[in-house]
Amino acid sequence: MTDSLLVHNQKIEVEWHRWENSNKPTLVFLHEGLGCVSLWKDFPWALAQMTRCNCFVYSRPGYGLSAPCVLPKKINFMHTHALNFLPAVLKAAGIRDHIIIGHSDGGSIGIIYAGSSRAIHLKGMISEAAHVFCEPITRDAIKEARHHYQHKNLKTKLEKYHGPNTAGAFWGWNNVWLAPGFLHWNIEKFLTQIKVPVLAIQGRHDPYGTPAQLTSISSGTIDCEAHLLDNCSHAPHQEQKDMVLSLMAKFIQKIIAIS
Calculate what percentage of the chain has a pLDDT beyond 70.
99
* pTM for this entry: 0.97
Question: What's the pLDDT at 25?
Answer: 96
Query: How many Å apart are CA 105 and CA 96, to the nearest integer?
Result: 23
Question: What's the pLDDT at 259?
Answer: 75
Question: What's the pLDDT at 38?
Answer: 97
Q: Which residues of the chain have pLDDT under 70?
A: 1, 21
Q: Which CATH number applies to 2-258?
A: 3.40.50.1820
Question: What's the pLDDT at 21?
Answer: 67
Query: How many Å apart are CA 32 and CA 172, to the nearest integer?
Result: 13
Question: What's the pLDDT at 22?
Answer: 74
Question: What's the pLDDT at 232?
Answer: 98
Residue type, 235: A
